[in-house]
Amino acid sequence: MTNSTEEITYLALGDSYTIGEGVSDSDTYPAQLTSLLSTKGIKMAKPKIIATTGWTTDELQQGIQAAEIDDNTYSIVTLLIGVNNQYRGRTVENYKGEFEQLLDQAIAFADGKTNRVVVISIPDWGVTKFADQQQVDKAKIASEIDAYNRTQQTISEGKGVTFIDITEEYREIGHLKENLAADGLHPSGKIYRSWAQQLEGVLVERLQD
């Protein structure tokens, strides 16, 4: 069981969705998850975030290397990556190998505790105002993102890692004005709060193990 005085550390790996492009630092899902867990009496350290807008799987890999954290371990690790692979037209097969490598690293950062690692599905940016303006093929985007998400769900579950599907809910509400950042593409803090609440639901009891 986690000692109540032990500080819980959190590593968040990803892209623009993880840094919360267009929202305040306190509205990102890593920050909101940290706040939610703190209200449950869990002593949380400030999350370590390795993410940059536009990153693909290989670029996240480079970012992890540049961060020089190979010898570190964390109480919680989350991974959300792949939308930019899809946006750039990369194949699911290419994504599969790079995602699996990243997930293996995430598990290692969690000191091998797969129940402390959570993969978050890729949101469908085709529902956004930005997509409307770009006049994109929304059905094609949805199909490709579904293929990416099926791939990461299969890999995650095969390794005993929890996979959270935020995509279906996002397709229903992601287009609403209050759920969009000012750029019309990225989610607002309201969306990130929903993701943080789902992560909290998974992790709060596991942090007592």
* pLDDT tens-place string over residues 18-41: 999 999 999 999 999 999 999 998
**Are the CB atoms for 120 and 152 separated by under 8 Å?**
no
User: Looking at residues 98-127, what average pLDDT do you find?
Assistant: 95
**What mean pLDDT is reported for the chain?**
92
Q: What is the mean pLDDT of residues 128-155?
A: 89
Write down the pTM of the prediction. Answer: 0.93
List of domains in the chain: 10-206 (3.40.50.1110)
DSSP 8-state code for residue 44? B
Q: Kindly state the percentage of the chain with pLDDT values over 90.
A: 75
6/48: higher pLDDT: 48
CA–CA dist 18, 179 (Å, integer)? 16
Task: Determine the average pLDDT of the residues in 164-180.
Answer: 85
Residue 122: DSSP 8-state = P
Report whether pLDDT(137) > 50. Answer: yes
